[in-house]
């Protein structure tokens, strides 16, 4: 019998979910690799038209687009820097022109520059805050008028358990992700009258994410602190994002959806 802590394969359930996001156009920042790739593929599988941004990895982004198309979905990828407001305005316009509208935004683009505070250069603070927090502002600001005019929309911001409890040697990253949580809650109150929901997803140790930067001993130590005893998968985080974009989450807003195996309990 498989462990209850392990993700279960339910092919029939996945087949039943197909089409849950049909008709939706979703903009995903940072969709070329890792968690962003998993989110893009899940949204495409569920029927959404997916517009992905990437900063440098054009080939990887084009592969994501190709994989979605191969599965019968529709996608596009555009190079854009989330720290540049005008570039994000341009991405919003291209998304609407290409797919005929915009219904959801997923802010996934982010960077890490871990270092003890006493060794951290001001530039290492600035770049993380600008990408992880100002990037969320730029993308939401560029999209919000469109969503408000149509009185419909979903915004999902990727934060982290580091934003909930803080992580040593990650003061810049933890601050940026805590800022995303505050931003999410404030914007949720602001745009609720327009039928727009704003939520955040806070991953913990994900095998293809934070956990991959740890050595073998650090990984084993980390697992002892996780009640479920394992690292999460990108697909499990992607499922949470997809839920918050769908009709089933229409009455959920301002919420931080924690996907961490219980490590933040």
Q: Which residues are catalytic?
A: 173
* Inter-residue contact 37 to 241 (CB < 8 Å): no
- Which of the 8 DSSP states describes residue 82? T
Sign of the torsion angle spanned by Cα atoms 38, 42, 45, 51:
negative
* Inter-residue contact 226 to 263 (CB < 8 Å): yes
* Inter-residue contact 240 to 259 (CB < 8 Å): yes
Among 195, 100, 83, 80, which residue's Cα sits nearest to residue 144?
195
Q: What is the spatial distance between Cα 96 and Cα 36, in angstroms, rounded to a whole number? A: 21
- Which of the 8 DSSP states describes residue 56? S
Q: What is the spatial distance between Cα 132 and Cα 180, in angstroms, rounded to a whole number? A: 8
* Inter-residue contact 232 to 206 (CB < 8 Å): yes
Strands ordered across the beta sheet of 25-29:
74-79, 49-54, 25-29, 104-107, 153-158, 196-203, 256-259
Q: What are phi and psi of 75, to 5 degrees?
A: -155, 160
């Amino acid at each position: 019998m498989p462990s209850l802590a392990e993700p279960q394969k339910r092919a029939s359930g996945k087949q039943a979910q197909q089409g849950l996001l049909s008709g939706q156009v979703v903009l995903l920042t940072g969709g070329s690799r890792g968690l962003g790739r998993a989110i893009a593929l899940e949204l495409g599988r569920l029927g959404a038209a997916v517009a992905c941004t990437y900063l440098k990895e054009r080939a990887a982004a084009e592969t994501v687009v190709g994989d979605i198309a191969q599965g019968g979905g529709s996608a596009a990828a555009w190079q854009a820097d989330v720290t540049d407001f005008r570039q994000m305005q341009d991405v919003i316009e291209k998304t609407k022109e290409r797919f005929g509208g915009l219904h959801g935004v997923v802010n996934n683009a982010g960077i890490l520059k871990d270092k003890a505070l006493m060794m951290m250069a001001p530039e290492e603070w600035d770049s993380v805050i600008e990408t992880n927090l100002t990037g969320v502002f730029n993308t939401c600001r560029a999209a919000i008028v469109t969503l408000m005019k149509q009185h419909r929309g979903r915004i999902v911001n990727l934060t982290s358990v580091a934003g909930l409890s803080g992580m040593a040697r990650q003061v810049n990253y933890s601050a940026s992700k805590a800022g995303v949580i505050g931003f999410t809650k404030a914007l949720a109150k602001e745009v609720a009258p327009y039928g727009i929901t704003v939520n955040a997803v806070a991953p913990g140790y994900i095998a293809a994410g934070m956990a991959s930067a740890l050595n073998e001993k650090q990984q084993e130590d980390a697992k002892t602190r996780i009640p479920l005893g394992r690292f999460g998968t990108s697909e499990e985080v992607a499922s949470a994002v997809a839920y918050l974009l769908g009709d089933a989450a229409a009455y959920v807003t301002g919420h931080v959806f924690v996907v961490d195996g219980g490590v933040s309990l």
